[in-house]
Chain A
Amino acid sequence: MSATELLIELTLMPLVAFVVGMMMVLMMRRIAAKLQRRVGPPFFQPLYDIVKLHSKRTQVSHGLIHDIGIVMAMGGYIAAETLLPVPGMNGIAEKGGIITLLYLMMIPSLGLALGVGQCANPNGSIGIARALTAMLAYDIPLVIVVFGVAYAAGTTNLIDIIATQQAGGFETWGVTQMPLLAIAGLIAMHASLGKQPFEIYIAPAEIATGPMVEMGGKYLGGLFVMQCFQLYTTAVLYVSLFLGGGTTWFDFLLKSFLVLAIPMSIAYLFPRYRTEDLLRLMWKWPVMLGLIGIAFVI
């Protein structure tokens, strides 16, 4: 592949992720509306929100680290998009591998922790402490699941993992080969999205949206953009690990949206766990399922 082609792919992949991510945010809000018997927001609502937030006259910065934190939160995901193969574009997925991808997916939380720390708002500090605790909770089952899949495929290269799954149709998909790992992965993915019942660090009624409490204008807009990337990254990672990636854009997007619709439909039916309950739940059930799943694989 020539350098120009690679450059075009590296530009296109985050852009596609952003557009698809906005549609995923829309789907999330529409699902919430349907479950509550409402009409829901119009089609371009996520775009309106982002444009409006970036066009506010007042942009309150709390210092350099605050600015850098938001850039890190977005940049971590933008870098992660280039490692996620989509139909027709592989980016640098071959060189990166799945372990780099997992590392990159942790950067946004750390960036947020830096940025929120400088805001000096107690609600923000509590929120970010809870966010990092939640990360500790869901990363252990996630790493177990990813290890199991990589062990079964014999490689950490995401392109090869997708290729082995696509070789024999539905029967060689991760979800039929390793159903226990797939269930554990779904729970870990739900927790990593930070939606109810795992919504401990947003908690609007309790700590006033936690990390977002001091964010206004383009800072909040940056976090809205980050949310688009977060939904896309999580859904596409799950599709690549268990649902055989995508051969065409149609079935790729269909799978991603369907996978994301599962936690979204569950989320708006439940209230919130406490932090220690989340930790206990995440370290018990998905970890147990994941370990049994690994035993089957080995």
Chain B
Amino acid sequence: MSSIKQIPVVEAKRTNPLARVFDDLVRFCRSRSLFILHYCTGCGAIELPPAMTSRFDMERLGIQPMVSPRQADILLITGYVSIKTLKRVILTYEQMGSPKYVIGICSCTVNGGMYWQSYATAKKLDEYMPVDLYIAGCMPRPEAVIEGLQQLMDRIHAGEANSWEDYYRNYDYYLGNQQKLFGEDWQTPTDVISEAKHYDLLSNGTLGDHTRLLEQHQKPLEALEMRLGHEQKEPAK
């Protein structure tokens, strides 16, 4: 990793004296207003209602649940991720708006936990998408969940929680791991490479063997056919 530090970094010139104040305000607001999208896959979900309701009340920290990926900042994955579930998790993650953060709760997201020997479970979540924070435990108490969220808040305020950029910078690595699990014809509706260009985050790790494989069989997305009622398909003869 030492080679990364040798790359010269050119800081953009700041001419507006208020820009830093404004940036700090934005970072502060980002840290104090977090909308969570729960992806409740396993038993860890049971610790979230007490963390949200009257006993531990997450809303006093500005954290509140949201229901659709477009609205959310945090993707909270609470438990083991089976291979079938992981596809949905990745689709959800790619639909969320940046800056976005992923939190893995329970030891199952860290290393597979008690499902270590399972053939149908994805062991380490951070091989498939960048994870900002793990909250280990089986299951972690609501105090631990809130402690973890507070750490994330501090890191957002300090401007260090930038792992969403990592998904664009190292897309080839993540896509490779996904292809290993889902097969070579794996494709999501989101065009991650164009997004990386849009955010100016295209780097050496974005494109590689795996993205080339993706481009070979990538089908352009088409709108679903609009149809009224249920039409039974004729069985193939």
A, B co-complexed: yes
Check if A51 is an interface residue, CB within 8 A of chain B.
yes
Secondary structure dominating the interface of A: loop
Cross-chain contact A57 with B97 (CB below 8 angstroms): yes
The distance in angstroms between the C-alpha atoms of A145 and B105, with both chains bound, is 53
A208-240 CB contact bits vs B (8 Å, 1 = yes)? 110011111100100000000000000000000
Stretch touching chain B among A6-14, A42-50, A100-108, A242-250: A42-50
Tell me whether B57 is interfacial, beta carbon within 8 Å: yes
Known: A33-B59, A42-B62, A60-B97. A55 touches B71 (CB 8 A): no
Candidates A38, A58, A60; contact of B59 at CB < 8 Å: A38
Q: Enumerate chain A residues within 8 angstroms of B67, measured Cβ to Cβ.
A: 204-205, 208-209, 213
* Residue A36 is within 8 A (CB to CB) of chain B in the complex: yes
Is there contact, CB below 8 Å, between B71 and A220?
yes
Residues of A in contact, count (CB < 8 Å): 33
The number of residues on chain B lying at the interface, defined by a beta carbon within 8 Å of a beta carbon of chain A, is: 24
In the complex, the answer to whether A33 meets B57 with C-beta atoms within 8 Å is yes
How far apart are the CA atoms of A45 and B25 in the complex, in Å? 13
Question: Distance in Å from the Cβ of B23 to the closest Cβ of chain A?
Answer: 9
Cβ of A280 under 8 Å from chain B: no
User: Across the two chains, which residue of chain A brings its CB closest to B199?
Assistant: A57
A56, A58, A208: the one contacting B68 at CB < 8 Å is A208
Complex CA gap A56/B99 in Å reads 6
By a CB distance below 8 angstroms, the chain B residues around A57 are: 97-99, 199
Closest chain B residue, CB of each to CB of A216: B70
CA A214 to CA B57, docked complex, whole Å = 27
B6 on interface, CB distance cutoff 8 Å: no
Residue A96 at the chain B interface, CB threshold 8 Å: no
Q: Which residues of B contact A40 (CB under 8 A)?
A: 57, 59-60
A39 part of interface (Cβ distance < 8 Å): yes
7 contacting pairs across A/B (C-beta < 8 A) = A52-B29, A55-B26, A57-B97, A209-B66, A213-B68, A220-B70, A220-B71
